[in-house]
Structure 1
Amino acid sequence: MTTSTAAITPVGAAAPAGTEQVGTRGAGGRSLRRRGVGWLGFAPFGVYVLLFLAVPGVVAVASGFFDADGRLTLANFAAFADPVIRSNFVSSIWLSALSAVISAIVGALVCWALGSVRPDGLVRAVVDSASSVFAQFGGVMLAFAFIATFGAQTLVQQVVLGATSFDTSTFLYSVAGLVLPYTYFGVPLMVLAFMPAFEGLKPQWGEAVATLGGTRLDFWRRIGLPVLAPAFFGALILLFANAFSSYATAAALISQGGIITLAIRQQLTSETIVGVANTAGVLAAGMVVIMAVLMSLYALLERRTRRWQR
């Protein structure tokens, strides 16, 4: 009976030349080829990100570091001394924070309500589908929807004005009125971002608390809320960043500025700060700094959330 060389090779000993190395080399080559094909499929998305996100973003921010003659300078950052610019940043921050908090609370309550329905039921399917659609519904279409609902001579405006003397049409075209459309797409985004963490609460944890004599309040106070807190605050930061960077809906409703994204548009069309060049780039750099801090905090909270989900 003939015995193969691989079968009698001692454990830990090197295999004879020409036996195992050939198979390993072939497997590695196939793995590299598959990886190359995978990167080739990723190429269109990479080109899109490079051309429409990375390059415009770098150009916009870098322009703030050059004067009108193309020389490097930091003098442009004197734009932040202008009270109008500071007011726009403050308005954007409080508007984003208020809409994010409202959206986070309402979205968390929706997730809590969905926890009592079947994951594969009709209600859950409808809410998931609606959240996916409404989270992306913004811009001019969303602005038109709110104008048709709360604008002048609409039914809602007439009813509210007759009952409370509060003019919804005037409120809608103000910075404070942007809370309504921002919350509209913030709530479904919160549902999409927070629901996976809510589903991660294991029923065994509640059973363990009940076995030890605890109440449902004890479960939420000692287990549920501490476990969900990182995911909740991470989603809150995501909502804030989404509202802070929104432009199209605000531009369709407000034409005179008031928030930082509209201030950038104004600076691109007309310089209003005497002696300061490339103000739009300076404001974009300020937004990038704020967004970088927010995304860093979000990454830390997301890492902490994944730790217990594993």
Structure 2
Amino acid sequence: MSRSGSRGWLGALPLLAFFAFVFGIPAVALVAGAFTAGGRPSLANVAQSLQGGYLTAMAGSVRLSAVVALLGAVLGTFLAYAVVTSRFRLLREAVLTASGVLANFGGVPLAFFWIATLGNSGVISGLVGLPSGALYTFWGLVVVYLYFSVPLMVLVMAPALDGLRPQWREAAANNGATAWHYWRFVALPVLTPSLLGGVVLLFGGAFSAYATANAMVGTVIPLVTLKIASALTGDVLVGYENIALALSLDMVVVAGLVMAVYLPLQRRSSRWLH
């Protein structure tokens, strides 16, 4: 290794040590606890986390995340296209700025916002005749999650749509291609990596969300994040105190699969945009 390379590694050592301490120790504790039962190595916790109500909660989280990801991707892509093709620069900047803020707006404040607006005693629910409790259902939670998922998709798709060169449309038109042919054979293949990457990103965000669902629906809708919180706060079977760690490990595996799909797609799309 060259002297400059050695200096680079030495400069990175504090950061590597910080990451090892902050993320490494909890990860080791998580894995160790998930595979320990009764003070001995065991697969009981992991097996229990994939059965009964825990499996139902995992399936509920996957279903919710998939619906939010697909709807958010469609709505966010159309909104991003409208913004990118708009001739009003101020509108574009305002929407992108708002998207950056709303994409990070979640948790209890978001739940309170929707409850105060469309809850049982909300400001608007009585005016529009919203059925009592509609907000606290699966589809109500989908609508709330879309509040931060759609802006996130706008941020993902706006650079990709900007990367579509006007010359490509002109060349397609000069060769007799219709608008449908242009989108089917030129634009869509270019946008597909970003589209799929956005879907995966939205899925991961909805899958890991906890505070908003906890404040809105509690245990009414079975979600794995709520099951983990319940296990940590006392809903623990004797001999399975580490069941919450096993559920967390299941989520880590799903998140790892999500990132394994997202990163290659992101790298591929970046080659088209430069």
Residue 52 of structure 1: CA displacement? 4.5
Contact 2:193/2:269 (CA < 8 Å) preserved in 1?
Answer: yes
Offset from partner CA, 1:132-183 (integer Å, 9 cap, x none): 100010111111111111112223211233xx6x22xx12233442112210
Among 108, 117, 135, the alignment partner of 2:77 is 108
Structure 2 residue aligned with 1:135: 103
State the partner residue of 1:207: 170
**Structure 1 unaligned blocks of 5 or more:** 1-27
Alignment partner, residue 57 of structure 2: 88
Select which of 229, 247, 266 maps to 2:230: 266
Residues 82, 46 of structure 1: CA spacing in aligned structure 2 closer, same or farther, 3 A cutoff? Answer: same
Tell me, yes or no, if the aligned pair for 2:116 and 2:123 is still in contact at 8 Å: no
1:237-276 per-residue CA deviation (whole Å, 9 max, x = no partner) reads 0000010001111121122261000100111122444553
2:258 & 2:26 partners in 1: Cα distance?
Answer: 21
Partner SS, residue 105 of structure 2: coil
Larger Rg: 1
Which of the pair has the greater relative contact order for Cα pairs under 8 Å at 6+ separation?
2
Please report how far the alpha carbon of residue 54 of structure 1 lies from its aligned counterpart in structure 2 after TM superposition. 4.2
Output the CA distance in 1 between the equivalents of 2:22 and 2:8.
26
2:219 corresponds to which residue?
256
Q: What's the C-alpha RMSD, in Å, of the aligned pairs?
A: 2.5
| Residue 158 of structure 1 pairs with residue 126 of structure 2 | yes
Cα distance in 2, alignment partners of residues 36 and 77 from structure 1: 38
Q: Measure how far apart 1:123 and its partner are.
A: 1.0
Q: Please give the secondary structure, in 2, of the residue aligned with 1:155.
A: coil
- 1:195: Cα distance to partner? 1.3
TM-score w.r.t. length of structure 2? 0.89
CA shift at 1:34, angstroms?
Answer: 8.6
Which whole-Å CA distance do the structure 1 matches of 2:49 and 2:12 have between them? 43
The equivalent residue for 1:72 is: 41
| Percentage identity across paired residues of the two chains | 39
* Alpha-carbon distance in structure 2 between the residues aligned to 1:36 and 1:72: 37
Deviation string 1:23-60 (CA, Å, 9 cap, x unpaired) is: xxxxx97x6799579748x83x973x545444334422
Whole-angstrom CA distance in 1 between matches of 2:22 and 2:158 = 31
Query: Is the 8 Å Cα contact of residues 236 and 243 (structure 2) preserved in structure 1?
Result: no
Counterparts of 1:63 and 1:124, CA distance in 2: 49
Query: Aligned-pair distance for 1:277?
Result: 3.8
Which of the residues 250, 260, 270 maps onto 1:306? Answer: 270
Structure 1 partner of 2:146? 183
Spell out, residue by residue over 1:208-250, the C-alpha distance to the aligned partner (whole angstroms, 9 max, x if none).
Answer: 0011111222110110111111110111000000100011111
Structure 2 residue runs without a partner (length 5+): none
- Residue-pair matches, total: 272
Describe the shift of the 1:37–1:272 C-alpha distance in structure 2 as closer, same or farther (beyond 3 A): closer
